[in-house]
Structures are given as structure tokens and as C-alpha cells.
Amino acid sequence: MKEQEFIKIIKSTLNSPYIGDDCAYLEDLGMVISQDSLVEDIHFKKEFITPYQLGYKTVMVNISDICASGAEPKYITISLSLPKDTDNEFIEQFYKGAKYASKNVEIVGGDITGSDKIYISAAAIGSTKNRKVSSRKNAKAGYKVIVSGEHGNSATGLNLLLKDNHTKGEINNKFIKAHLMPEAQIEFSRRIAENIKEDYAMMDTSDGLADALFQIANASNVIINVDTTKIPHDLEVDMHTVLYGGEDYQLVAAVPENLLQKIFGYTIIGDVEQGSPSVRFDGIILKEPENSLFNHFKE
């Protein structure tokens, strides 16, 4: 069963207006909240990543969800489920990495339990004060589609780790560093959310750029046109990886063109038009290619 089918069942069962974006926007409290998980042998392998890097990445992937909403990251809680042979050094290094990634974000609590593998669940809270919050359902015809940073680097780094013999925690390769120690796009998010007046759509690309584009197109009931030659990427990375490789934690947004004069640090890769929900890559309309998109429950 596809991940999206699970989410549809949850939404229909709970009938909650808050479910649908990476963050729940609690307007009455002036905050957004998100929760994410990292599971050993699904999201990371102990032979590749150090405890310090794992703590760092745990925080960054959760900050990224807050950034996708346009809110300011403020607080994080972290819950750990750990095997019984876990030592004190792991805990110390994990939280040192988490603290380094936090910077202006406060780690305010969590939980620790026993388990057979390492399971990490973190919840992040962001403030919406002086920010315009995004939703993937807010892309409109005439909007421009912009992205931050390069795409495909993290997936390329993972492939290098899986194929070659690399030292645990090695980050002298830009692709491996992108995978082990990603950077949440805090400033890109802030520039948009503090300067925009209109409704807009924004997501991070943790499950791949193509996935984010399809999610926005489907939620907004629009066609998204993309010129793949405009997508920033390293020349060593093939276009399939650029589109479908996950864990880059860049941001993609559909915004009104008038915003672009007020911000910087973006690349225009396409635009939005009315039509049956789909994404048009280089003029070719594709329905959601479920075999290419990241899916936790793929056979």
C-alpha cells in the first residue's frame, strides 16, 4: 500500500482540517507543529553515520518542515528508542550534534525507551509571528515555481556510501556531506514568508523534488510546468536523481511573480497553469509516477 493511501485513510478517519501539509498550522496559537521520524536501516545506517551526525540530521530534518511552512523554527522535542547495548558516548555525541544543529532553536524535552533498533521521533514547533504561512494547496495559475539550492546531491551521496568504501562519518565529499549533514533552508523560507502577502505553496524536497511538485499540483488542482534545464544541480548528477532523489531538504515554492523583486537566492524552474492536476516536465505531462517517487511502503 502506498504511503499516500495511508494518509488519505487517516485524513478521512479523523476528518481534521489540520492534516495535509508537513506542518499543522494552529492559527489560534500562532504556531505550526510538525513531527518526523528516523528509523535505523530505513533512513540511516550506523556504519555510515556518526552519533553526532545523526543528532544533527534529526534536528535539521525537523527544522526543514517548519521552514516549508514559512514559520520561524523555535522549539524541538526528541524521543529516542535505543537498543540495550547503547553506551553513554552515543547519547553525548548525539545531543552535541543536535545542539549544534539547533542554533536559535531550543531542544526542550523528549523521551527515551528501549527497542531492538534505533528509532528517533522529533516534534518541532515554529512561530508564525510576522510570517505568512504556506500550504501546498495554495499554488495558483500564473505563479512562478522557484527552488533553493542544488537537487540530487543527497541521493548521490547515499549511492556513494552504498557502493564504495568510505570512512564512517566522512564528509569531505560534497555529496556525502549533503546526505549526512543536510542544511535546512531557514533564510530562503524567511525571505518568502516575511515579504509575501498572497497565499502561496511551499514544501521541502525531503522525498524528492518531483514528489513535492506532484503534491503541490494535486493539492492545488493545477498543472505545474517545469523546465528541467533550469533546475540547479551538479553536472555529475543525472536528471532522474535530480527529480526523484530524496533527502535534499531544499525548498520548492509556487509564488506570485511580484514577490521575486523583493527576495533573492532562488532559481525559477517553471510556472503554474490551470488544468487537471499534473506536472509537465519539458512539455511532457506526466501523471504521478509512483514507481519513481519515494515510498516507505514500496515492495
What are the boundaries of each domain within the chain?
A: 22-127, 136-286
* Residues in contact with 229: Cβ distance below 8 Å, sequence separation at least 6, in sequence order: 282
Question: How far is 60 from 50, CA to CA, in rounded Å?
Answer: 15
Can you tell me the mean pLDDT for 63-72? 98
Task: State which H helix or E strand residue 112 sits in.
Answer: strand 106-114
Distance of alpha carbon 128 from the chain centroid? 19
Contact predicate 147/248, CB 8 Å: no
- Write down the pLDDT at residue 237: 97
Could you say which architecture CATH assigns to the domain 136-286?
Alpha-Beta Complex (3.90)
How many other C-beta atoms can be found within 10 angstroms of the C-beta atom of residue 3? 15
- Given strand 31-39, what is the order of strands in its sheet? 24-26, 31-39, 119-127, 72-82, 106-114
The residue ranges of DSSP E strands in 134-262, in sequence order, are 144-147, 201-204, 222-226, 251-255
What count of other Cβ atoms lies within 10 Å of the Cβ of residue 68?
A: 30
Query: pLDDT tens for residues 157-196?
Result: 999 998 877 788 888 899 999 999 999 999 999 999 999 9
Tens-place pLDDT, residues 96-120: 999 999 988 999 999 999 999 999 9
Give CA–CA dist 239/246, Å, rounded: 13
Q: What is the pLDDT of residue 73?
A: 98
Average pLDDT over residues 225-251: 96
State yes or no: pLDDT of 143 exceeds 70.
yes
| pLDDT band for position 1 (cuts 50, 70, 90) | very low
From 299, 78, 117, 266, select the one nearest 190 (Cα to Cα): 266
Q: What is the pLDDT of residue 290?
A: 55
| pLDDT exceeds 50 at position 27 | yes
Choices 1.10.357.10, 3.90.600.10, 3.40.50.20, 3.30.1330.10: CATH for 22-127: 3.30.1330.10
Mean pLDDT, to the nearest integer, of 202-229? 96
Asked whether residue 10 carries a pLDDT value surpassing 70, the answer given is: yes
Q: How many CB atoms lie within 10 A of CB 218?
A: 17
Closest of 80, 115, 116 to residue 97, by C-alpha: 80
pLDDT of residue 296: 45
Average pLDDT, the chain: 93
Phi-psi region of 137 (alpha: psi -120 to 50; beta: other; left: phi over 0): alpha
CA angle 123, 127, 130 (to 5 degrees): 160
Asked if residue 298 has pLDDT above 70, the reply is no
pLDDT value of residue 297: 41
